[in-house]
Structures are given as C-alpha cells and as structure tokens.
Structure 1
C-alpha cells in the first residue's frame, strides 16, 4: 500500500482553492502529459458530492481508465474522492483546506494499493509511490499558479 501527504501553501482564498481542486477543466490542464480526458460522468465544470468522473489516460505507455466518486464534501474545507473502478485495488484522496493568515494551506492525503498481493505491494513501493507523488505535486503547482494569478474562469457548479 502506498500513502503520502502533501502540503501546499497558496496565496489565495480557501473557497477559490477548494473550487480549483474540484475543477474537471483544471485537472485536465494539470495532466496534459498523460493525455488525460474526462470521458463520462461529470466531464467539465465543478464536481460535487456523490458525483462521478471517469478519467482516461496513459501511464507508463499503457492506456487506463479510472472512475472516481466524491464520497465526502464539506464546502470549502474538505472533500474526498475514491476510486470505484480502475487499476488500483483501492484509491482514496482526501483534500483539505485551511485558512492561515490570509493564505490557504492545502493538504492532500493520498492512499492507494495495487492488486496482485505481494507483487502489487512491491510495485507500490518501488514505482508507484514516487510516480503518484510527482503527479500530485504537478497538479498542485497548477492549482497554486491559477489561484495566485486570481483565476476567474471557473464554470458555475
């Protein structure tokens, strides 16, 4: 099983950071290198409680699909998405936002595990933990960039 926590300080409001983090459009921008597309469910705009999105992307030269659902949602402080179908045995991503002296501390708690028992655990440890951490760091850089330049192109929920 892989898991990690990332902290990102953003000079923007909690509300804006929360909405950028649940923006399908901004997620696609942040994942350009994997040719990610939202192919079903909520495919644009802002995703909310009990809504699902199916992502199609290429990782390690392999085409993959992953469907996640928003299982927890407390605007603008936290939301959680969990895989309901896809390549992992389990995947859970909790997003939290805390206002601190005029800026936002964004916290990502990410848990995942691959199938295939011991072999899956080995792949998680050797390859996927660092790969998933790098993907999420890149995504957070894009969120931070757009939030700090006062990004106002979010579609209405």
Structure 2
C-alpha cells in the first residue's frame, strides 16, 4: 500500500478549514479543472453539502483520459480536528484519506492530508502506482490544498 502525505498552513481558524475541507461544492472547485470533477450523489443532494460522519458521496471525474466514479464514506469524524473518508467503490483496490487539522495560532491552521491507496490490476497496478499514481496523487492533493488556501485566505 502506498502512503502520501501533504501539509499546508492556512491563515484561517481551524473550524473554517475543517468545514471547507468537507464542503463538497468547494471540493469540485479546488481540484484540477481538466478532470471535470462533479458530485453526482451526496447525503443532502448535490448542492453545497458539508459531508459528515457515516455519509457517502460519489464523485465523477476524468483521470488518465477515463471518466470514472468514486464513492467514499466518512468513517471517522472528530470535529474540528480530523475526518477520514474511505473508498467504497472506485478504480482503486483500496483507498483511505485522512484529513487532519492542527491549531497553529488564533487564526492559523495546519492541514495535513494522508492518503493510503492500493492500485487494482495485480502486477500492472503495482508498477503503475509506483511510477505514475504516487506522483499523480501527490500532485493532485497539493494542487487542491493550494487552491483551498487561496480561496480561504482571499
């Protein structure tokens, strides 16, 4: 299993960062534009939902020229410090994403993402994850976090 970690400091209070990270509408606006990511199913419908414990969301996006869906469920939830979502259905064999938030000051928060994943397709998937997926997923997380920081701090 591959583990990727990304950290960023955001000059906003922890609760603001925690809520922004679980805002489904904001998520689709902070990922790479070329993926055309959208929410196709969520607990409160598709409009502006803050996902919470036990809730599931299905995203649709294009990665590696393939349109695909990924359904995740929030399996751990400790506001405003942490939540974890786990893939229920999707292209990966297994995937878990831990979002952690740490107070650095009255209006400064460290956001740490840890992503664990296992690629499908046996030995072909193992090669892909080592040489392609690992850097692709790290770049995806880092881009999203930079966009989130930009939106929250503006």
- TM-score, scaled relative to structure 2: 0.93
Shift in Å at residue 93 of structure 1? Answer: 0.4
Which residue is 1:77 aligned to? 81
- TM-score, scaled relative to structure 1: 0.91
Is the 1:97–1:106 contact (alpha carbons within 8 Å) kept by the matching residues of 2?
Answer: yes
Taking the aligned partners of 1:30 and 1:129, their CA distance within structure 2 comes to 20
Which residue is 2:13 aligned to? 13
Q: How many residues align?
A: 149
What secondary structure, in the 3-state scheme, does the structure 1 residue paired with 2:120 have? coil
Shift in Å at residue 41 of structure 1? Answer: 2.2
Which of the residues 82, 87, 92 maps onto 2:91? Answer: 87
Shift in Å at residue 34 of structure 1? Answer: 0.4
Shift in Å at residue 2 of structure 1? Answer: 2.0
Deviations 1:11-70 (A, max 9, x none): 110000000000101111012320011011233321111111101110111010000011
Structure 1 vs Structure 2 CA RMSD = 1.0
1:115 aligned to 2:116? no
1:76-155 to 2 correspondence within 5 Å? 76-102=80-106, 103-149=108-154
Taking the aligned partners of 1:109 and 1:69, their CA distance within structure 2 comes to 16
Moved over 6 A (4+): none
Flag structure 2 segments of 5+ consecutive residues without an equivalent.
none
